[in-house]
Amino acid sequence: MSRLLAVITVVFGLIGGVSWLVPSASAQSLSGLARVDPSMSDASLQRGTLTLKLTLSQPVPYRVYTLDEPRRLVLDFREVDWAGVSEELFAEAKALTGVRFGGFRPGWSRMVAELGGAFTLRTAEMSRDDQRGTAVLTVVLDKSDEETFAGRAGPPKGDVWPDPVASLPRKQTGRVLVVLDPGHGGIDPGASRDGQTEKELMLAFAREIEEELRRLPNVDVLLTRTDDSFVSLERRVAMAHQAEADIFISLHADALSEGHAHGATVHTLADDASDEASALLAERHDRADMLSGTDLTGQDDVVADVLLDLARQETQPRTDRLAKAIVGGLEIKGAPLNRRPYRAAAFSVLKAADIPSILLEIGFLSSDRDFKNVVDPLWRRKMAEGIRDGIQAWILADEAIRRVVRQ
C-alpha cells in the first residue's frame, strides 16, 4: 500500500513575487540512482488541470518550480536515469511541449518542459510503495492568467542544492592556459543524428585536442566540462575568467536544416551577425541554455560598461589573429572549410571581454560529408593536430607583437 513520502513540503506563497518549494529535513538523507519507468509515467490535460506523473524505481530528493520567458516547468532530481524515456511519452498533454531531460550537474538530473500556456503549480507530491520500494511523483498545475503565472514563477530562494563545481587550479606564471569548451552537455544534447549527439562528439573532440596541446611546451589546458553535465553559458565564461585563461575555444558541430551548411567555420563575437546562419546559431545556443532551466531574470542583455568595451577593443585584434591561425592549422591538415570560414555573431559564450575567444564549428551534422568526418576518431585526431599547430603559431606571433608593443 502506498503512503505519502514527505520528501518535500510544498509551500506556495507570494514572497518577493516568487513561488517556491522547500525540502524537508528527510529529503536530505535520500540518495542513490533512481530509474524512470516509462510504462508507468505520463502526462494529461483535463479541464484546465495539467497533471504530470513520473514513476521512479526509488524515492529521491527533488524540487519543482516554474520559470517565465519562456514559460517552463522545471523538475530537479538527485541521481535519475532517464534511459528509455522519450518526449513522445508526454505528447498526450498538449500543454507540455519541447520536453527535455538528462544530467544537469554531477549527481543531479533535470527535466524541463515548455508550457503551452500559463499554468501555475498547485501541488508536487511523491508517494512510495512500501512493498516494491518504488515512488511516484505527481505534479499538478492549474490553468491561470499570465499575470498570476509571472508572479509565482521563479527558482527557489537560495541554492537548495549547492553547485558542486570545484575550485579551479591556480594558473602557473609564464604558461599559456587554453580553455576548451565542449558545447552543450547533460540535459542539452545539441544536434543529433543517427544516434550520435553533438554533446558526446564534442567532449571526445575536446579530449583529443587536450592531448595534443599537452605536447606543447608551456601550455596548460582546462575543459569547461569533463563529463555529461550541463554547464550554463554564463558559467563557461566565468570559468575562463576565474582560471585566467589566455585562449577560449568553444567546440560545436551543429545542424542547420536551413540551407546546406557544411565545412569548418570559426565564429568571433559581434553585436551584428555577419550572416543569417550565424545569427540563427547564436540564437539557438542561447535558447538551448534557457530551455535547460537557466533563469535569466535580472540579467542585462547588453553589456554597456565602458571598461568592457575598451577591453574588447584591445582583445579583438588578438581574437581575429587566433581565428586566422586556427583556420590555417585546419587547412594545412586538409580540413574541409566552409566557403566563408570566418563569421561573427552575438554568441553569449564568447563574451569574455579580455580573453581571445572563438567558437569553432568543426562541421555540421546535417551535412552527410561532415557527419561522416566528425564521427571518425582518426579524422578528429587530424583536426586536433591542426588546432594544436594553429594555437602554437598564435602563441609565437602574439608574444612577438607584445614584445614590439612593450618597446
**What is the DSSP code string of 261-304?**
--SEEEEEE-SS-SSHHHHHHHHHHHHHHHHTT---TT--SS--
CA distances from 163 to 58, 65, 107, 159 (A): 24, 18, 10, 8
> Looking at the whole model, is its pTM more than 0.85?
no
**In the chain, where the domains are located:** 2-152, 176-406
Report the CATH fold assignment for 176-406.
Aminopeptidase (3.40.630)
Q: Tell me the C-alpha distance between 144 and 60, whole Å.
A: 30
> Per-10-residue mean pLDDT for the chain, 407 residues long?
39 33 38 83 92 93 90 89 85 83 84 92 92 93 94 76 59 91 92 94 98 95 92 90 94 81 92 84 78 55 47 84 97 94 91 92 95 97 98 95 76
CB contact at 8 A, 62 and 78: yes
Cell of 56: 521512479
The helix (run of H) or strand (run of E) holding residue 313 is helix 306-332
Exposure pattern of 209-234 as b/e (b: 16+ CB <10 Å)?
A: bbebbeebeebbbbbbbeebbbbbbe
CA distances from 192 to 66, 254, 287 (A): 27, 8, 17
Architecture of domain 2-152 in this structure: Sandwich (2.60)
Q: Tell me the C-alpha distance between 336 and 405, whole Å.
A: 36
Per-residue pLDDT at 293: 61
